[in-house]
Amino acid sequence: MTDDGNPTLEAPTPEAPMLEAPMLEAKGISKFFPGTIALDDVELTLHRGEIHALLGENGAGKSTLIKCLTGVYRRDGGEIMLDGEAVDPLSTHHSQTLGIGTVYQEVNLLPNLTVAENLYLGRQPMRGPFVARRAMNAAARISLKSFGIDIDPTQPLSAFSVAIQQVVAIARAVELSGKVLILDEPTASLDREEVELLFSVIRQLTSRGIAIVFITHFIDQVFEICDRATILRNGQVVGTRQLKDVSQKDIVSLMLGRQLEARVRAPKSNVVGKTLLEIDGLRKTGMLEAFSLKLREREVVGLAGLLGSGRTETANLIFGAVRADHGAMKLRGHEIRINNPRNAVAHGFALCPEDRKTEGIVGDLSVRDNIILALQARQGWMRPIPRRKVEEIAQHYVRTLDIRLANLDMPVRLLSGGNQQKAILARWLATDPDFLILDEPTRGIDIGAHAEIIALINRLREDGMALLVASSEMEELVAYATRVIVMRDRRQVGELTGDEITSNNIIHAIAAEPMVEPAS
């Protein structure tokens, strides 16, 4: 499609790619949110013509950093040098005009407009009071051809695949900005061929001297296309590496960290109860390849994997939040069908979703109502739980889970992240489930609540519950899982049991390298 790095192509930036003067230098960037430090003294340097990976798990600070660079957030500290000059982006639009363009996973273009209209929105060639459509369409065609795609720009954007839409978004960003291009998870919803197309476009951009920030959770893609990588964890830079010098495993362990390992490893009783749930060949096209699991009582199965590996999808499919294409489930030996969350709840399932705010809490309802919501929904609206019973249940969980609040009548959205998580846990515990699915139960909560939730998981298991916990925190999985299923590319790729469960082994399995050290 394209001749990669063909020097005859017109480059909007005349300078040849040079490594001496960085295109962008961000120094000491800090950003505080109430109660948390989102970015702590972060450094990022981009050279001309470089493809620089920005890596980290959710909540590591990637998107906050990008938002500071593109003017969505005002940074609380540090300075940004662009092309040798100090800049201060005030809005996305401003940062675009400065020279920093961004392309997101959900293409930030308008599907109802044509390709050409999208490319030139706000800067259309004019003839008198009217848009010179013919000139605009011709220019769009030429521009896109220079990226190696030849399409009819008068078609609506929605007529094209996501990959083409991405290229259109890149073309717009490059023409508008032309110095730094930030690609935020551009490949998350592309298939292999589309990724190839996108990569050829990206490589070609480097020959124009543009510095590219590439954010992804596909580690192999990082090694395929990037020159360097900066890894963030908990709002701090944990390292910047030349990728040709390091292995995938080095990067993964930097991302996940494993300092805590020795500390939290708790002795686990091996008493495992009888089989509770058998899942056979659960799958849905584009979300999850056949997933099978045999789960027993008194067992905590961990789901490990990087972002996008299919952890959340697995949880949602089991719970019926998304309807599966295929898959059989047996509960205590009896065939069951789960088509929606209501079925799941009726069978004694419970799910604490990953996205607490949009799928977990019901923000404006009181903490009390949030706690009894699932139990009440299961009982049906005709049989209200008596007020005294409600009070009793709510008080009970506030006490046992140590939910910190002013009173039970306060809206749950006013609680801190950790306490919101506990309230959702309380909601499900109140239904007395046999099987509890937790999706990233400790994300974005403070360290104290973190430890409490880990302790709670262990206690629930000892009380006889079966749990499935999806998490990106290795130490955490080591602390409570009796078994760990490793996911990659929406597929089960391995299983660790007993003493095999160490951060190291999990990281190896995720990074798809042979296990080196059996844990002792």
Residues within window 360-419 making contact with another protein, judged by CB under 8 A:
360-365, 369, 373-374, 376-385, 398-407, 409-410, 414
SS3 131: strand
| 408-439 b/e (C-beta count within 10 Å ≥ 16 → b) | beeebeebbbbbbbbbbbbbbbbbebbbbbbb
Among residues 109, 103, 108, 13, the alpha carbon closest in space to that of 66 is found at 103
- C-alpha 85: how far from chain center: 33
Instruction: Please check whether residue 421 is in contact with residue 453, taking contact to mean a CB–CB distance below 8 angstroms.
Output: yes
111 binds another protein (CB under 8 A): yes
**Subset of residues 322 to 361 that bind another protein, contact rule: CB under 8 A:** 322, 340-342, 344-346, 351, 353-354, 358-361
For another protein, the closer of residues 102 and 207 by Cβ is 102
For another protein, the closer of residues 126 and 262 by Cβ is 126
290 binds another protein (CB under 8 A): no
**Subset of residues 254 to 283 that bind another protein, contact rule: CB under 8 A:** none
| 25-58 b/e (C-beta count within 10 Å ≥ 16 → b) | bbeebbbeeeeeebbbebebbbbbbbbbbbbbbe
- C-alpha 53: how far from chain center: 15
Map residues 463-492 to x or -, x wherever contact with another protein holds by CB under 8 A.
Answer: -------x----------------x-----
Tokens of 382: 């005709």
Total residues in contact with another protein, by rule CB under 8 A? 98
Q: How many angstroms separate the CA atoms of 133 and 135, rounded?
A: 5
67 binds another protein (CB under 8 A): no
Q: Minimum CB separation from another protein for residue 309, in Å?
A: 6
For another protein, the closer of residues 64 and 96 by Cβ is 96
Q: Minimum CB separation from another protein for residue 381, in Å?
A: 5
247 binds another protein (CB under 8 A): no
SS3 81: strand
110 binds another protein (CB under 8 A): yes
Of 21-29, 107-115, 227-235, 477-485: span binding another protein (CB under 8 A): 107-115
**Subset of residues 11 to 50 that bind another protein, contact rule: CB under 8 A:** none
For another protein, the closer of residues 50 and 354 by Cβ is 354
Q: What share of the chain is helix, strand, coil (3-state, %, to 5)?
A: 35, 25, 40
Instruction: Please check whether residue 116 is in contact with residue 137, taking contact to mean a CB–CB distance below 8 angstroms.
Output: yes
Q: How many angstroms separate the CA atoms of 394 and 404, rounded?
A: 12
189 binds another protein (CB under 8 A): yes
212 binds another protein (CB under 8 A): no
305 binds another protein (CB under 8 A): yes
**Subset of residues 86 to 105 that bind another protein, contact rule: CB under 8 A:** 92-93, 96, 105
